[in-house]
């Protein structure tokens, strides 16, 4: 495999774009990150990282000589590989909104040259978008030539909170497109495929890790692989939550149940954690995207729809547990621990806590919320919600009628729960993430299980 450094342009500097930039720079390539957001680019030029992702800042700062940040799309001219890493949020009917992708293609099109350039779609997109990008380039790029300009689908499979490890030590690399373009991409990823790079101190190579599988396929199959993978994981989470609901009725323990079924190698333990359900930018959007694709062909997908319905029910389940104990929310003080959709990220997209805060306020509750890293982002993105920001986790408990654990941050595991419960007006904890391990001198509601053990610190 070729070891020559490539000239890379990355369009979009969000979670996917910054992670991709850090990875490719660490592999030895020259990377230019391009974004229309002037404030974000100025932050990056000052070596300030606009998102929270463990280890990302250190990796970017250790490779500054390989990185350039700009709002100028003419940087595409020097690139041999152009990654599109923009958002594709769901529209009102659930179909992915491609306006940012189309704008990115229109912005890069004037700067394509006569040399070979590979346009890589890393954004999660509907099946057939690769062909759409080709048509757009034919119409918008004066120098477009199908013999030197190729479109590749290279979906990402990163988990926010562990994106660095997922980037450096992936299970697989999926590449969809024509053979010439895929050969080029294998050259770009050669150090990753061979695992010949030096692991960063913040993300050592796992002891038993060898190298990723490389899947070479068509544009359409690569796009489908991304959607199908996320939809299947969403199904696993919703399945665990549906079983958890039945466990509460029959007296079974969901954690013991999922441990038992997860030992079956055909099932596995991952993504069987019952709780408040999934959030974030992927599972809901991608599952709905497949349903929308099926609708275009008059093909119903009831299993995927059920996964979405169960996930929505989990959020209402928390409200129902509160109402069962408190009877009414009017005038009640409710604390929410955790705002990000999962721990180790500040991403608030489709966060379950958003739904809880919104619904509690509608029911007349006074809400106080805390998150270890997402507070500032929430102040910007959730400014329309009615809640108070807590200066620390302890403030969430003060005179509260109930506290909801909405995100399973390790910081919350380490709290002195007995001392904090003593500051509540009514000691009621809705542990929607099954975080607590030992009972408290309080009423504790978990999901699909009852808290067992000896009275003591909840660790």
How many residues make up the chain in this entry? Answer: 459
285 is in an annotated binding site: yes
CA-wise closest residue to 230 among 279, 298, 167, 300 = 279
- State the DSSP code for 147: T
Q: Cβ of 377: how many Cβ atoms within 10 Å? A: 19
Going from the C-alpha of 43 to that of each of 100, 249, 278, the distances in angstroms are 21, 52, 31
- Residue 236 annotated as binding site: no
The Cα–Cα gap between 276 and 310 comes to 10
The reply, when asked if residue 58 is annotated as ligand binding, is: no
Active site residue 282: yes
Q: Is 335 known as a binding-site position?
A: no
- The secondary structure of 293-346 as a DSSP string is HHHHTT---HHHHHHHHHHHHHHHHHHHHHHHHHS--TT-EEEEE--SSSTT--
Q: Is 411 assigned a ligand-binding role in the annotation?
A: no
Q: Could you tell me which of 291, 102, 157, 125 has the C-alpha nearest to residue 223?
A: 125
Catalytic residue from among 39, 85, 247, 282: 282
115 is in an annotated binding site: no
Residue 397 structure tokens: 């408990």
Would the annotation count 35 as a binding residue? yes
Does 386 belong to an annotated binding site? no
Strand 366-370 and strand 388-389: the pairing is parallel
**342: annotated binding-site residue?**
yes
Residue ranges in 251-282 assigned as alpha helix (H): 254-262
The structure tokens listed for 204 are 């050592």
Is 171 annotated in a binding site? The answer is no
Sign of torsion over alpha carbons 448, 163, 265, 239: positive
The annotation status of 274 as a binding-site residue, yes or no, is: yes
d(CA 291, CA 65): 44
DSSP states along 71-135? S-GGGGGG-SEEEE-----B-TTSSB--HHHHHHHHHHGGG--SS-EEEEE-S---TTHHHHHHH
Determine if residue 11 is labeled as part of a ligand binding site: no
Q: How far apart are the C-alpha atoms of 187 and 168, rounded to whole Å?
A: 16
Residue 275 labelled as part of a binding site: yes
**160 annotated ligand-binding residue:** yes
**Does residue 338 contact residue 373 with C-beta atoms inside 8 Å?**
no
Q: Which residues are annotated as a binding site?
A: 35, 40, 88, 124, 157-160, 226, 271-275, 279, 285, 342, 349
Q: Which residues are annotated as a binding site for NAD(+)?
A: 35, 40, 88, 124, 160, 285, 349
- Catalytic residue numbers, as ranges: 282
Q: Which residues are annotated as a binding site for substrate?
A: 157-160, 226, 271-275, 279, 342
């Amino acid at each position: 495999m070729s070891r020559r450094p490539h000239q890379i342009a990355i369009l979009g500097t969000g979670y996917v774009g910054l992670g991709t930039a850090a990875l490719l720079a660490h592999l030895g390539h020259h990377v230019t990150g391009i974004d229309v957001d002037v404030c974000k680019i100025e932050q990056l030029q000052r070596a300030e990282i606009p998102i929270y992702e463990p280890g990302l800042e250190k990796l970017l700062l250790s490779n500054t000589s390989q990185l350039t940040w700009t709002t100028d799309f003419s940087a595409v001219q020097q690139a041999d590989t152009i990654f599109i890493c923009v958002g594709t949020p769901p529209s009102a009917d659930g179909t992915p909104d491609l306006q940012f992708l189309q704008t990115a293609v229109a912005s890069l099109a004037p700067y394509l040259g006569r040399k070979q350039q590979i346009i890589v779609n890393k954004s999660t997109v509907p099946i057939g978008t690769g062909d759409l990008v080709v048509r757009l380039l034919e119409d918008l790029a004066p120098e477009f030539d199908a013999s030197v300009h190729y479109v590749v689908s290279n979906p990402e499979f990163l988990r926010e909170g562990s994106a660095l490890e997922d980037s450096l030590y992936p299970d697989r690399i999926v590449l969809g497109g024509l053979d010439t373009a895929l050969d080029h991409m294998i050259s770009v990823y050669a150090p990753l495929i061979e695992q010949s790079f030096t692991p960063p101190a913040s993300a050592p190579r796992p002891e038993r890790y060898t190298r990723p599988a490389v899947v070479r396929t068509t544009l359409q199959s690569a796009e489908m692989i991304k959607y199908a993978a996320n939809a299947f994981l969403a199904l696993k989470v919703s399945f665990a939550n549906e079983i958890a609901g039945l466990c509460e009725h029959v007296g079974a323990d969901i954690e013991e149940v999922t441990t038992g079924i997860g030992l079956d190698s055909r099932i596995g333990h991952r993504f069987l954690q019952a709780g408040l359900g999934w959030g974030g930018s992927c599972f809901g959007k991608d599952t709905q995207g497949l349903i929308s694709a099926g609708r275009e062909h008059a093909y119903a997908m009831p299993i995927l729809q059920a996964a979405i319905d169960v996930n929505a029910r989990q959020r209402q389940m928390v409200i129902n547990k509160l109402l069962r104990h408190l009877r009414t929310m009017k005038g009640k003080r409710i604390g929410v621990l955790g705002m990000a959709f999962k721990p180790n990220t500040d991403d608030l997209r489709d966060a379950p806590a958003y739904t809880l805060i919104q619904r509690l306020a509608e029911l007349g509750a006074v809400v106080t919320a805390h998150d270890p890293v997402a507070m500032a982002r929430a102040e910007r993105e959730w400014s329309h919600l009615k809640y108070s920001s807590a200066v620390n986790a302890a403030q969430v408990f003060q005179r509260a009628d109930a506290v909801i654990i909405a995100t399973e941050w390790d910081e919350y595991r380490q709290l002195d729960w007995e001392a904090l419960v003593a500051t509540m007006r009514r000691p009621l904890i809705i542990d929607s993430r099954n975080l607590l391990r030992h009972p408290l001198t309080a009423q504790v509601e978990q999901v699909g299980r009852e808290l067992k053990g000896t009275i003591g610190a909840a660790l």
